[in-house]
Amino acid sequence: MQFAYLRRAAAGGAVAALTFVGAGIATATPAYAADSKVSVVHGIPDTPVDVYVNGEKTLENFEPGDVAGPLDLPEGQYDLALTRPGEPIGEAILTADDAEVPGGANISIAAHLDADGEPTITPFVNDTARVDAGKARLIVRHTAAAPAVDVRAGGSPVFEGLTNPNEAKGDVDAGSVSADVVLAGTDTVVIGPADLNLSEGTATIVYAIGSAEAENLAVVAQTIDGLHSAPSGVPSGTGGQADTGLGTWWYALAGAGILLLVAGGARAAVVRSGRR
């Protein structure tokens, strides 16, 4: 009885402490540590999984080629675990402990094969800086069990010698391009070609996934929008017919008016005093 009471009191204390910390964060937030946007990308072929975050099942039966999120997560360290669907967390096929989530970032956590074909987890920080008006950002990530590759757009290489688990990126003119992936320095196409529709003001992130050996190379894509910039101005008149300013003639008229008033007044005064 006494024990139960103590436990309840302890629980109450914990809640109070949490609230206090919560209030502290809420008031301190504007300066730093905004939540991060976290997406999860599944790039391991033929292996649906359940995803656990800090021991809690967050995604169920997450299919290869799917993208989850974004989730709003506070800054901190997270334990990730992937299990076969329905299996207990103790039998996870892949874990990443103390995965660092910085504050105010946009992150993609990719479960994928490393260059040797072993499952692994790689966090990527997404570049969400604004793009210039008319531009789109293309980010390509090598997350496949395959050697170095080149990415070509319209037949010419745009990113060369990309290796697992790295990314290449660039801001390009918005629009559609035909892209493919070749073994670095060769014309041997391993993925594509496919039409890439790069919308203005967005980042399109393309993951190369799968395994060259198993001949199941493919792509997964993720898009981040809202990165657009406004044009620098709207120049829309060179004639001057709609001028609402006061022209030089106005200043001449006003000036002449003042001169006449002053000179005329002075002259009248002189004439009057002369008569006296």
Partner 1 sequence: MTVGNRAALAAVAAGAAALAVATVVAVVSRPAGSVGTEQAAALASPTAASTGPVVAVAPGALPDDAEPVRPVRLRIPAIEVTARVDPVGVDERTQEFDVPPSVDEIGWYRYGPGLAAESGSVVIAGHVDSAEQGKGAFYRLRELAPGDTVTATGDDGTERTYRVVAREEYDKTKIPLERYFARDGRPRLTLITCGGPFDAEARRYRDNIVVTASPV
Question: Using the 8-state DSSP alphabet, how is residue 179 labeled?
Answer: E
Number of residues that bind partner 1 (CB under 8 A): 74
Q: Is 262 in the site for partner 1 (CB under 8 A)?
A: yes
In angstroms, the CA 107 to CA 41 distance is 10
Q: Is 200 in the site for partner 1 (CB under 8 A)?
A: yes
Structure tokens at 97: 């402990």
Q: What is the number of alpha carbons within 13 Å of residue 165 lying toward its C-beta? A: 20
Nearer to partner 1 by Cβ, of 2 and 248: the residue is 248
In angstroms, the CA 117 to CA 95 distance is 16
- Cβ(77)–Cβ(99) under 8 Å? yes
Q: Which of 205, 197, 157, 159 is nearest to 175 (CA)?
A: 197
Q: Is 71 in the site for partner 1 (CB under 8 A)?
A: yes
Judged by CB under 8 A, the chain residues 128 through 147 that form the site for partner 1 are 132-134
CB 211, min distance to partner 1, A:
17
Q: Which of 15, 23, 28, 254 binds partner 1 (CB under 8 A)?
A: 254
Q: Is 241 in the site for partner 1 (CB under 8 A)?
A: yes
Q: Is 246 in the site for partner 1 (CB under 8 A)?
A: yes
Q: Is 187 in the site for partner 1 (CB under 8 A)?
A: no
Q: Is 30 in the site for partner 1 (CB under 8 A)?
A: no
Q: Is 162 in the site for partner 1 (CB under 8 A)?
A: no
Spatial neighbors of 120 by CB under 8 A, at least 6 apart, are 94, 111, 112, 113, 114, 165
Q: Is 232 in the site for partner 1 (CB under 8 A)?
A: yes
